[in-house]
Structure 1
Amino acid sequence: MLLHRNDGGCPARGFYTYDAFIAAARSFPAFATTGDQATRKREIAAFLAQTSHETTGGAGWAAPDGHYAWGYCYNRELNPSPYCAWNPNYPCAPGKQYFGRGPMQLTWNYNYGQCGRSIGVDLLNNPDLLSSDPTISFKSAFWFWMTPQSPKPSCHDVVVGAWSPSGSDQAAGRVPGYGVITNIINGGLECGKGWDAKVEDRIGFYKRYCDMLGVGYGNNLDCYNQRPFGNGVLVDSM
């Protein structure tokens, strides 16, 4: 499925392995095991699509096998910034930077801190683990996927139908479907602005994986008319 992740042109070649994916997923047993077979397949497709977009190495539409065959080429941000914000609970460690790393390109010290506390790893002092240890790297992506951060639901809950939009969600156009997952991840930069190339890219990856798994796409794939929940936890750092 991840056809070119080990291509010579991918800086993260050899990093993202099936064994690391499975080992990390065992720490989140509800992932791809909730609901009927179609729901489980759709969750895998949605997860791979969003993370493929975050780590894509597709050099335009002329890339061999097409743009959407080039997910998982990067495990760290190309143009890193410190991403250090004052936070009494998760202060930045001296000399450490919290730029995008891993399949979900986790950013900011407070996200590294929350994620590390959840998975039992000191990511505030060791942020590079997300680009040096593939299992921990995948765990960070699963943590983000499975964890609601109010007022945002978790991506998992959206896929499996466990999220019911509130009145304010409905007024903001936020409805169940793949589009609201994009809103959860990076809505502050991509959603509610009409057509957006990055949103379309996420949809393209999703359709590819759904087709490979033989499952329908569902409804509401974009977030063009959805107001953001607020600033996204992540930025599109690639």
Structure 2
Amino acid sequence: MAPKPFPRRVISLSLLAAALSIAASASVAEARWYSPPSPVSAIVSEQLYASLFPHKDDAACPARGFYTYASFARATARFPRFGATGCPHTRKRQGAALPAQLSHHPTGGWATAPDGPYAWGLCYKEEITPASNYCDATDKQWPCYPGKSYHGRGPIQISWNFNYGPAGQALGFDGLRNPEVVANCSDTAFQTALWFWMTPRESKPSCHQAMVGEYRPGPADIAANRTAGFGLVTNIVNGGLECNRTGDARVSNRIGFYRRDCQALGVDVGPNLDCEHQLPF
């Protein structure tokens, strides 16, 4: 007698399709919520970030609750070369330089402040009493929108229509028609700071290039004594007002934040801290 054949397992095509659909949906959901870690997280951890900005969420700070580490990490992940360029010392110096510049602009500290003047970074989201609406009406590429102000907002205090326009174009928001988003969305605020940090503009190198050894001075830069280092970063950020002058308090404040941050990261500050003898761009 021939053996009986094993019964065939019949799988419903509809059940199989449903199972595949569920698996695909789970994969999409996982991809949507998963965010790859930023290279800078190995340098500026959440704990270190909290120690660099210990009073940012105090009741006295208008930006309390705004500048979260999660937003900072997401912004740096969007610019993956930040924190991932150069040797470990170079990466740490850049990891110190950005928080130092971010601390200076929206700081709420003063000489006798609790925990010292360098413990109150990221206290403000925007200028309290802007000197103007920061509209350069001569710029036809990035024209000002009626009724809008392009005063300093966010951790780098991005200003002027010729910065809001290209920043918005690069990051996916209308910087000319809706500049307020920089002070209303923490992710956008940090992204504008990283965009400014990483993007060379016309005759200026990027702050990133100045800190990681990618800056190549031309004849005009050499004549202007624009040498790489933290001082050149200050020149890029606000050289027209702070550089080529003796003992500027704003420059000293930036350096104070940078020294503190380098100490926290366990790295020396490197050369050329100030821009006292540099001509502005």
Query: If the TM-score is normalised by the length of the shorter chain, which range does it land in?
Result: over 0.9
Residue 77 (structure 1) aligned with residue 77 (structure 2):
no
Length-normalised TM-score, structure 1: 0.94
**Mapped partners of 1:151, 1:96: distance in 2:** 28
Q: Which residue is 2:166 aligned to? A: 114
Q: Give 3-state SS (helix, strand or coil) of 2:180's partner.
A: helix
Query: Percent identity, aligned pairs only?
Result: 53
Deviation of 1:94 (Å): 2.0
Per-residue CA deviations over 1:193-216 (Å, capped at 9, x if unaligned) read 122111000000000000000011
Q: Give 3-state SS (helix, strand or coil) of 2:118's partner.
A: helix
The number of residues matched between the two structures is 228
What's the C-alpha RMSD, in Å, of the aligned pairs?
A: 0.9
**Mapped partners of 2:133, 2:220: distance in 1:** 34
Q: Which residue is 2:175 aligned to? A: 123
**Mapped partners of 1:93, 1:192: distance in 2:** 34
141-150 or 83-92, which moves further after superposition? 83-92
Q: Which residue is 2:157 aligned to? A: 105
Deviation of 1:95 (Å): 1.5
Deviation of 1:121 (Å): 1.1
**Mapped partners of 1:82, 1:176: distance in 2:** 32
What pairs up with 1:1-238 in 2 under 5 angstroms? 1-58=52-109, 60-80=110-130, 81-86=132-137, 87-229=139-281
Unaligned runs of 5+ in 2: 1-51
**Mapped partners of 1:37, 1:206: distance in 2:** 17
Per-residue CA deviations over 1:132-184 (Å, capped at 9, x if unaligned) read 10000000000000000121100000111000212221111111111011000
Per-residue CA deviations over 1:107-147 (Å, capped at 9, x if unaligned) read 11121001001111111111111101000000000000000
Amino acid of the structure 1 residue aligned with 2:69: Y
Deviation of 1:54 (Å): 0.4
Length-normalised TM-score, structure 2: 0.80
Report 1 or 2 for greater relative contact order, CA contacts < 8 Å, sequence distance ≥ 6.
1
* Misfit runs of 4+, over 3 Å: none
